[in-house]
Structure 1
Amino acid sequence: MEIKAILSRKKDDFSLQDIVLSRPKNNQLLIKIVACGVCHTDVTVLNGTLPVAYPVVLGHEGAGIVVEVGENVSSVKPGDHVVLGFSYCGHCKHCLTGNASACTDFAKLNFSGKDEDGFTALTTTSGEQISQIFGQSSLATYCVVNEKNVCKVDSDVDLRYLGPLGCGIMTGSGTVFNTLQPKIGSSIVVFGTGAVGLSAIMAAKILGCVHIIAVDVHTNRLALAQGLGATHVINSREQNPVDAIYAITNGGADYAIDTTGIPAVCHQALDCLDVYGVMVVLAVSNAEISVNLNHDLVAKGKTIKGVLEGDASPKVLIPILVELYKKGQFPVDKLMRFYQPNEVNKAFADSASGEVIKPVIVFDESIYSGS
């Protein structure tokens, strides 16, 4: 079937084009995309940090409505509302122990450009193969995904706000809920208040952290962080964040999360910790940092930890986040601004400049506009 998709080529970042989408196989679904979030991981594909063969249709924070299911699909049916997550095999030791984000074949399934059978559902109208990412490529009007990629959600919740739960928001909140699991009364610092960082802040508030400190250089983002649960905000252009954190926490924080991938900021996240503090690195970056094993780690028993997709199983965490959103405890709508498909370049530019936390490309708003 012919669909509209935002196609990326090496010399042309974005172009809304007609392309061809294959019908779903036995274990797949056809999804009508309502909206898709713009994520920094999309940018890392464009800049080559995560190499994917061109041409490619980006988008991995899709949300939509099931149109058609393969004969082996049993968890959803046509008409169901779904959020799309990352691809995983479902049978390696990590998947079988509930750690789908650590799937042995994660890189292959999400960034090789093909599905688990070695095929892509996307081609140009002239027959040229188009790479998929995250098994979905949801910057399009429709996509075909494996049943494992979908998470059914309540139909009374606006899908335009839910797509980013499948990656950036899941990563930030999952890092707090699943990885750090801070005790009530503990202290946490979040460096970088984009979608990932703000999601971590909202999760820390839910779990009862007494000091929730946001560090950034954008005053508008810091103001939003305070509204979402940060007890303190630090503009690192105006004061030394490590000194300020030590003063706030009376000796250092229990946890720090870096979402920036900037080496100097990573060092600040490590330096601001108390004894036995844990620093988590979330940024997708090729940057390198150096540490002094004694001074930076051993002398205070500190830990540096990488986290994969918030150590989350999408089918478990996404419904929890939706329920928290419905109760007003996880107001993700405050992070988002909507764009039309022909505004995709502006959406990416606004994200890069810091003007918008989470741009969302809306492909079909008819179910909410009444048209």
Structure 2
Amino acid sequence: MMNEKTTRRALLGGLSTGALGATAGCLESLNGGVDENGESGPSTDDSNRSDGEAEPDEEAPSEPESEELPDIDGGAVVFTYDDGPMTDYEQAFPVHREFDAPASAGVVTEWVGREDFDGRDWMDVEHLEELAEAGWEINSHTTAHTALGQFELVEDVEPDDVRVYPEERNHGFHHGYEIEVTDGENSAVRTVVDSDHDGIGAYLEFDEPVGESFAAGETVERYPEELMHEFLGDSKAQLEEWGFEVDTLLAPYDICDEWTVEIADEYYDGIANANPGSMVNDRESFDPFDTNRDYFIEYADPRNIQTQLDEVATQGAIGIVGAHSFKEEVDEEGIRTMLEWIEERDLTVVTLTDAFRAVAAESS
């Protein structure tokens, strides 16, 4: 018999090609099949049923308790903080407590507990536990903050070339990983040893020649499927080993495409930032694997943020916003101002998973 998690994964398999309405039942079952401590609900085994009891054709998932779901009728906002730095705990967390407002923290598992790494300290498991106890959600942000998508090549590749030129070089930020170059028919897997810009453009450099010809515009480079499963599956497994319930993904570098979704929906119920640039998500067509997210302090115009919040309130929509709390411009005052704007508009602050569950309950 499949367990509750396996069943949910199977039901979520087609989510990337459809709206939330098609998957409302499986998201709803997440509430009914698991209690607040993550324990499985009653067994569906028929062995203890008395002979006099009629067997139903199919056991329906339990209806979630209404008080377990947030009221989002007037619109809601989800906060997602990137990477897991100590500033999430020291700066963002205290302000959110002032407003009794939860948030979601996207955690890079290999960075947990590290000190003076990349110029800053990172939350350890105890800090994450305190956030979770206060109602925060822990998102996966992969094992090593690797970009998950695939990038089209903008230059032809010859067999003796050791460099390829993708439209973006995010996969060059991490050396030592394998990259698959594929046009859908032929593929070559090589290891990245360098990345930079030359007279042609941004490039990835491999440990050996590609060995085949590939045409620009018809070829992509991406992490191989096995490696994608490692980035996504191992991250979730590690966070769950530490005791956290992890059902959602925050995609590094705001990069999410069909390749990302194809692998991610085997592990997660949704992605926080499939489409960067706008926070507004319409409830009627809300797809957990096609979400909009915008930064609310960095890269942001305060007037535009308030305009988007007005849209969320007027439409009764779901707003998803994010921030890197270690950035200089992201301070307690800015976070407090954002929460005040939300309060002025009578919007509800919820976690990402609670937003998914509340919309799914409405759809059912």
What TM bracket, shorter-length normalisation? under 0.3
TM-score by length of 1: 0.28
Q: TM-score, normalised by structure 2?
A: 0.28
Larger radius of gyration: 2
